[in-house]
Chain A
Amino acid sequence: MRIGIVCPYSWDVPGGVQFHIRDLAEYFVRLGHEVSVLAPADDDTPLPPYVVSAGRAVPVPYNGSVARLNFGFLSAARVRRWLHEGAFDVIHIHEPTSPSLGLLTCWAAQGPIVATFHTSNPRSRAMIAAYSILQAALEKISARIAVSEYARRTLVEHLGGDAVVIPNGVDVGFFADAAPRPEWQGDTIGFIGRIDEPRKGLPVLMRALPTVLAARPQTRLLVAGRGDEEEAVESLPKELRSRVEFLGMISDEDKARLLRSVDLYVAPNTGGESFGIILVEAMSAGAPVLASDLDAFAQVLDQGAAGELFPNEDADALAAAAVRLLADPERRAVLRERGSAHVRRFDWSTVGADILSVYETVTAGAAAVATDDRATRLRARFGLARD
């Protein structure tokens, strides 16, 4: 099958959607499919052979932060050329509502289009204003995929229609086979995520830490992620600060080894999550998980069966649960076992096969993807076409 995948965000910037697309593309390549990924990228970044650059993304203020997006005449022309040269059986657009490559491709293509909705952002004002334009482009999508039941619900509420739920994939074996590092073992709690992004919840964990250390002084907190370390420990009494170790940005290998080593992984996120891939990675590595009870997290953790949940932003509940778990190796062993069994549904072999069935369902009997020339033909009819 000839598969075209559209990535809306810069390939040079690491991010969840980019990693998802990379793993998905590599999974299809291994199965012998022809894959081409269209992604924004700087011209001098080395790209894997299956990635086609759509040019540099432009930083613009959008939706409360600065987003790097592709739009305009040049990008649209590149999208058309990519569609034309690729002659795809199916194209898979990620994040079609962001004003970037995904939306441009929706405009320019016709034929079997699959789209994955990653985030579950509440409808923005811009989206309401552009609703009819957006709707006309989104109507072309033959199959919608939401990454969680929660994401599907927001999608149905905001855009109407329906979607199938296929979770994000994780290479379970990579995490399960990583070797633990001795210096990260022994009464350790792990946290991975941006330090300076309050929604990742490190402040909640910092508020809970004194109680945990009072009950178990030998505990260490290992924090991996970008951000200001001084500022992060500011709320902590001075004598406790040595119990927090910052590892900075770590590689994928070290991330797997960290998750293999810790006694407890804590995800105190306070919001803005639509899936929670890190929880799946932690469970794959066999780390017992303690997470805030966000809708998305509760679903990934099988409503608390595969990992424990505490009330969102409640530092006391977090501390109590952490102390109880650290003191109870048997309960942790149960969580490890349940987690490892539960994550098999998130392995790429399952997720990839599901996505492939979606492709096969929409391509059965349908013509291949082509550029949508209605607008061009209209211009030609009035003698306005350029060529």
Chain B
Amino acid sequence: MTATLIWILAVLVAVGLYLSWTAGRLDRLHARIDAARAALDAQLLRRASVAQELATSGVLDPAASIVLYEAAHAARQAEEELREVAESELSQALRAVFADAQQVDALREAPGGEAAADELAEAVRRVPMARRFHNDAVGAARRLREHRKVRWFRLAGHAPFPLAFEMDDESPAALVERAA
């Protein structure tokens, strides 16, 4: 009788430890998503700021300046649910403005243009990077949260179900082509 009780107790303790370990894993994943999301926000903001700075610098022609300013402004001001669309539109605007290598060359020749072009190239290169790391973390958390043990024992608590950040983040080829 006592032996059975001890066995039941041992199993319960083991299950408890396993669940606590899984909850810890999930907690760490949520922390990783938060950090990745903060990094993504920082990179997106940086890209929009550099684009806006370029648009107001007078280096670009007026039409390009307006297109770029509009898109960068919209991306910075976008509300959370419209953010992905606004950021995608900024990517499209950047691709349209820097469609050909001549525009990039003209930018580099302007005073201070070299540094601005490098900064923009750096920013547009890091956005896809940060987004991939974020979505990778989201995918890992989702896979774990869909598991039975997590759903049955509600190990995720009140944390919202993580969502991937989907956007068009293709860089303007002429800008990141560093062999040039």
Contact = CB atoms under 8 A, between A and B. Distances in A.
Interface of A: 110, 136, 139-140, 142-144, 160-164, 341, 344-345, 350, 354, 357-358, 360-362, 364-366, 374, 378
Contacts of B178: 344-345, 350
A357 B132 contact: no
Q: Which 3 A-B pairs have the closest CB atoms?
A: A161-B136, A162-B136, A344-B179
Contact of A162 (B17, B28, B132): B132
Contacts of B32: 139-140, 142
Given A164-B128, A164-B132, 8 more contacts: A140-B32, A142-B35, A143-B129, A162-B135, A344-B179, A362-B36, A362-B39, A374-B24
Nearest to B135: A162
Main secondary structure of the interface of B (DSSP, over half): helix
A140 B27 CA distance: 11
A162 B132 CA distance: 6
A160 B140 contact: yes
Given A365-B39, A366-B35, A140 B132 contact: no
B141 to A, nearest CB: 8
Contact of A164 (B38, B129, B137, B144): B129
Contacts of B154: none
Contacts of A160: 139-140, 143
Contacts, number: 70
A136 B133 contact: no
A110 B28 contact: yes
Contacts of A143: 129, 133, 136
Contacts of B36: 142, 362
Contacts of B92: none
Contact of A136 (B25, B39, B130, B179): B25
B42 interface: yes
Contacts of A350: 178
Contacts of B95: none
B125 A357 contact: yes
Nearest to B35: A366
Interface string B116-138: 00000010011011101101110
Contacts of B42: 364-365
Contacts of A360: 126
Contacts of B122: 357
Contacts of A364: 38-39, 42
A361 B129 contact: yes
Contacts of A362: 35-36, 39, 133
A10 B69 CA distance: 54
Interface in B17-34: 17, 24-25, 28-29, 32
